[in-house]
Amino acid sequence: MEINNISEIWKALKEKLSTPSTVFKYLEFKVMYNTAISKNQHPQATFVKIHRHLDLLWDYICEVSSTLQLYL
């Protein structure tokens, strides 16, 4: 593959290096799953954090069951 410009170099690097490993995906899920909702604070910030992790998992093309989504 011949690369002629910076745009093609960037695209090739992104394809090679931007795919997260299975371990990274699992750790993202684990952090999301272990996020606790504080009894003394409004839960909105915690829900935002959980959904941020869920969005990252969707970006990594991980299928998250609808049952699990109901609990989030």
What is the tens place of the pLDDT at every residue in 3-35? 678 888 888 777 777 767 788 888 888 998 899
Q: Does residue 57 fall inside a structural domain?
A: yes
Q: What is the total count of domains within the chain?
A: 1
Tell me, what's the pLDDT at 56? 83
Whole-number Å distance between alpha carbons of 23 and 25: 5
Tell me, what's the pLDDT at 10? 81
The packing angle between helices 44-59 and 22-33, to 10°, is 160
Q: Does residue 12 fall inside a structural domain?
A: no
What is the tens place of the pLDDT at every residue in 30-54? 998 899 988 898 999 999 998 888 8
Q: Does residue 15 fall inside a structural domain?
A: no
What are φ and ψ of residue 19, in 5° steps?
Answer: -80, 115
**CA-based radius of gyration for the chain:** 17
User: Is residue 2 packed enough to be buried (19+ CB in 10 Å), middle (13-18) or exposed (0-12)?
Assistant: exposed
Q: Does residue 51 fall inside a structural domain?
A: yes
Instruction: Provide the domain limits for residue 50.
Output: 20-71
Q: Which helix (H) or strand (E) holds 8?
A: helix 6-17
Q: Does residue 10 fall inside a structural domain?
A: no
